Amino acid sequence: QKEVEQNSGPLSVPEGAIASLNCTYSDRVSQSFFWYRQYSGKSPELIMSIYSNGDKEDGRFTAQLNKASQYVSLLIRDSQPSDSATYLCAVNMRTGKLIFGQGTTLQVKP
Nearest distance, CB of residue 14 and another protein, angstroms: 27
DSSP letter assigned to residue 109: E
- Residue with Cβ nearer another protein (17 or 102): 102
Nearest distance, CB of residue 23 and another protein, angstroms: 12
Where along the sequence are the contacts to another protein (CB under 8 A)? 31-32, 36, 42-46, 49, 51, 88, 92, 95-103
Nearest distance, CB of residue 46 and another protein, angstroms: 5
Helix (H), strand (E) at residue 4: strand 4-5
55 Cβ neighbours under 8 A, 6+ residues apart: 62, 63, 64
Q: Helix/strand/coil (H, E, C) string of 11-37?
A: EEEECCCCEEEEEEECCCCCCEEEEEE
- Residue with Cβ nearer another protein (49 or 70): 49
